[in-house]
Chains A and B, each alone.
Chain A
Amino acid sequence: DTEVTQTPKHLVMGMTNKKSLKCEQHMGHRAMYWYKQKAKKPPELMFVYSYEKLSINESVPSRFSPECPNSSLLNLHLHALQPEDSALYLCASKLTGLSYEQYFGPGTRLTVT
């Protein structure tokens, strides 16, 4: 199984809502990522988990809260978002170490109204 799954595919939420994005992989990867991607831009790193511990937080606003409940799951909790947070949110995973590629999920297309 070489797949990273993400749910939901699309999400529309108001600025006062609370929602969560989910990501799952069963490849035994112990590094998991959240990226934000705006149109015509490269993926922008938000968070990295390594062995279920948060290892990188790229100064992301606290309205985004990541969680790694176990080695296969990664969540991104969203609260009080702004319209400028509308983007494609990508999850990725890889084996730990410098020499391994990332496997990306299909993403969640988020619209904040």
Chain B
Amino acid sequence: GQQVMQIPQYQHVQEGEDFTTYCNSSTTLSNIQWYKQRPGGHPVFLIQLVKSGEVKKQKRLTFQFGEAKKNSSLHITATQTTDVGTYFCAGPLEKGGSEKLVFGKGTKLTVNP
């Protein structure tokens, strides 16, 4: 079945260092979504990418969608302690009429102040 793989599983950085998480789908996606879950919290939507090769920025966060629409990345420049959490990518199940999102396993980011 359709799978979304995400690496790395864990990443520990010093505050001020950069961070990147990568997402790969086994199938072409119509869009890819990114969510952040703070410790003890719930997933919160960050962004959606739709177009091939799309790049979107939110302050220090840069999101990319691959040309083949099968991979994506999230890059954080100069991490801060507020960036701590688990970042999930997710793509819609590409089966007619399905409302299902397929989540990657997530990358847990810890930041040493």
Contact = CB atoms under 8 A, between A and B. Distances in A.
A98 B3 CA distance: 17
Given A41-B105, A42-B105, A99-B31, A56 B99 contact: yes
Nearest to B29: A98
B99 A31 contact: yes
B44 interface: yes
A42 B31 CA distance: 19
User: How many interface residues does chain B have, given as a range?
Assistant: 20 to 34
A50 B33 CA distance: 20
A105 B42 contact: yes
Residue among A42, A92, A107 facing the most chain B CB atoms (10 A cut-off): A42
B43 A90 contact: yes
B100 A99 contact: no
Nearest to A31: B99
Contacts, number: 55
Interface string B5-39: 00000000000000000000000001101010000
A48 B99 contact: yes
Given A48-B100, A56-B99, A90-B43, A98 B92 contact: yes
Contacts of B105: 41-42
A90 B42 contact: yes
A42 B30 CA distance: 21
Given A40-B108, A42-B88, A55 B42 contact: no
Contacts of A98: 30-31, 92, 94
A33 B50 CA distance: 23
Contact of A104 (B30, B44, B50, B98): B44
Given A99-B30, A99-B31, A42 B106 contact: yes
Given A106-B41, A107-B42, 13 more contacts: A43-B43, A48-B99, A48-B100, A90-B42, A96-B99, A98-B31, A98-B92, A98-B94, A102-B43, A102-B101, A104-B35, A104-B42, A104-B43
Interface of A: 31, 33, 40-43, 45, 48, 50, 55-56, 88, 90, 92, 94, 96, 98-99, 101-107
